[in-house]
Amino acid sequence: MDVRTPKIPEDGRHSFFRTKSVEQSIRDTEEPEHALKKSLSALDLTVFGVGVVIGTGIFVLTGQVARNNAGPSVAIAFVVSGIVCALAALCYAEFASTVPVAGSAYTFSFATLGELPAWIIGWDLILELALGCAVVSVGWSGYIRSLMDNAGWHLPTALAGSTTNETHFDLLAFLLVLVLTAILIGGAKLSARVTSVIVAVKVAVVLIVIVVGAFFINSSNYSPFIPPAVPATGGGSNLKAPLIQVIFGYTPTNFGVMGIFTAAAVVFFAYIGFDIVATAAEETRNPQRDVPRGILGSLAICTVLYVAVSVVVTGMEKYSRLSVQAPLADAFKATGHPFWAGLISFGAAIGLTTVCMILLLGQTRVFFAMSRDGLLPRFFSRVHPRFKTPYRSTMLLGGIVAVIAGFTSISELADLVNIGTLFAFIVVSVGVVMLRHSRPDLPRSFRTPLVPWVPALSVMASLWLMLNLPTETWVRFGLWMVLGFVIYFAYGHRHSRMRRQVTERG
């Protein structure tokens, strides 16, 4: 009797976990019709990172979380979230320098986990970045309308966006996304130049908040720095309750020491975007050196600014009296300085512009990478003959996001952006360890320290923050993933370039 181990078919046609070699991924970037222009530097990448991270978080979440979750210790919550992001950033930096290809976590997972897991993470990133761009564009529209109202200009109600009770077309959010789409089609370098100007204005406003606000600090507002703990609201059977409460019966607290970690799960939204730097690796002149610098540099700058702003704003006004909608501007109003308040509102509006553009940039690059692999129609992976940008996918996605932003009030779906990003963090962290074992021979210009301990900590920290998100967010995320599976098995798997290459060899 033949007792030899059965031979696994080499064609791999029925395997959903076939990986795409790093060498093949890099060769695909050299096809003239599908090659992006290399024009970005480490400074450009750092500006992209700061441009997308400094936005809603610093202008809104500082006051919201201080008032509802942590008090003055919100500064510590920003540090905790920054540490979670730093763990993931170290993993992203190694991957992006080893596999300098568009697609970020999608490309990394294809090289380590296989085609189906890569599709899952790519589909997840499309949701995360599209929804994030739409949400931020609606927020931008609100700031602009507020500035227009102050000047005596008013949009017709039918074009002024949705309110709590009525749904209207948001003309400003719609036009913003279309304008940014046109800029992105014009090239990554043009996008970087526009971003550089806007980021300079935005960071200047943030520094003004820190420097000017420091003169209005009342030290008594810091007492108590960690307010006494109170149970968080929400029953165990409520879909709005955190998943950890539904599963384990653990009730998160607001304030107190544990309230800092509850707050960290909320302010994590403020950091979303630094990983988008990795999606531009293929358009970087020296990705092995510059991508790690861009990722880690932008994260470090943003963490320092977040902590400084949160310390200043909770010192200017008692945390229990902070505004939820516009805490920085209102803190200056409360101290009798309306000029600075107006300047901050202007900075917030300007700042959100770059957030939208870079989220859209990241989404189009993920879509482009999936299209180039055949998992989405190859039609969308053609680059513009002059600008060398994925103009077809950019126009498609820009149009879709513009419509979503114009017609939908989706602020309640913002938690989906958090869960999508954290899921990507876990995949990348696991992938670093797997690639170390499967391809130790690969040249790595940046190496994640203390492997596997740093990736393991990244996974556990990300999972903890995911468990603190509402149960309904997990349900919506699951439904989106089910739709993704349907599309993959109906189209992606059948048209996969990797599958066809294996079949031809067989």
Across the range 414-421, mean pLDDT stands at 75
Q: Report the mean per-residue pLDDT for the chain.
A: 79
Residues 6+ apart with CB under 8 A from 110: 19, 20, 25, 103, 118, 373
Burial of 309 (0-12, 13-18, 19+ CB in 10 A): buried
What pLDDT does 485 receive? 92
Q: In the 8-state DSSP scheme, what is residue 324?
A: S
What pLDDT does 190 receive? 58
CB 99 within 8 A of CB 22: yes
What pLDDT does 66 receive? 86
Asked if residue 14 has pLDDT above 60, the reply is no
Q: DSSP 3-state assignment of 470?
A: strand
What pLDDT does 381 receive? 79
- Distance from C-alpha of 407 to C-alpha of 395, rounded to nearest angstrom: 18
- Distance from C-alpha of 458 to C-alpha of 98, rounded to nearest angstrom: 19
Indicate the pLDDT class of residue 236, thresholds 50, 70 and 90: very low
Residue 443 CB neighbour total at 10 angstroms: 8
How far does the chain reach from its first CA to its final CA, in angstroms? 28
Indicate the pLDDT class of residue 51, thresholds 50, 70 and 90: confident
What pLDDT does 165 receive? 58
CA 134 to chain centre: 12
What pLDDT does 256 receive? 85
Q: DSSP 3-state assignment of 217?
A: coil
What pLDDT does 33 receive? 64
What pLDDT does 460 receive? 92
Indicate the pLDDT class of residue 10, thresholds 50, 70 and 90: very low
Across the range 449-466, mean pLDDT stands at 90
Q: With pLDDT > 70 as the criterion, what percentage of the chain qualifies?
A: 85
- Distance from C-alpha of 189 to C-alpha of 184, rounded to nearest angstrom: 9
- Distance from C-alpha of 188 to C-alpha of 38, rounded to nearest angstrom: 9
Residues 6+ apart with CB under 8 A from 338: 332
Indicate the pLDDT class of residue 114, thresholds 50, 70 and 90: confident
Asked if residue 3 has pLDDT above 50, the reply is no
> Which of 278, 288, 294, 283 minimizes the C-alpha distance to 387?
283
- Distance from C-alpha of 380 to C-alpha of 374, rounded to nearest angstrom: 10
Q: Range with the lowest mean pLDDT among 53-57, 409-413, 477-481, 497-501?
A: 409-413
> Which of 142, 167, 146 minimizes the C-alpha distance to 157?
167
- Distance from C-alpha of 287 to C-alpha of 310, rounded to nearest angstrom: 34
- Distance from C-alpha of 464 to C-alpha of 118, rounded to nearest angstrom: 23
Handedness of CA 313, 319, 324, 325 (dihedral sign): negative
Q: How far is CA 288 from CA 2, 43, 284, 327, 427, in A?
A: 50, 14, 9, 40, 21
Q: Range with the lowest mean pLDDT among 15-24, 153-162, 204-213, 311-320?
A: 153-162
Tokens of residue 205, six digits: 């406003």
Indicate the pLDDT class of residue 415, thresholds 50, 70 and 90: low
What pLDDT does 332 receive? 81
Asked if residue 69 has pLDDT above 60, the reply is yes
- Distance from C-alpha of 277 to C-alpha of 105, rounded to nearest angstrom: 11
- Distance from C-alpha of 324 to C-alpha of 62, rounded to nearest angstrom: 9
Across the range 490-505, mean pLDDT stands at 79
Indicate the pLDDT class of residue 162, thresholds 50, 70 and 90: low
Higher pLDDT residue, 380 or 240? 380
What pLDDT does 482 receive? 93
CATH placement of domain 38-505: 1.20.1740.10
What pLDDT does 235 receive? 47
Asked if residue 455 has pLDDT above 90, the reply is yes
Asked if residue 11 has pLDDT above 50, the reply is no
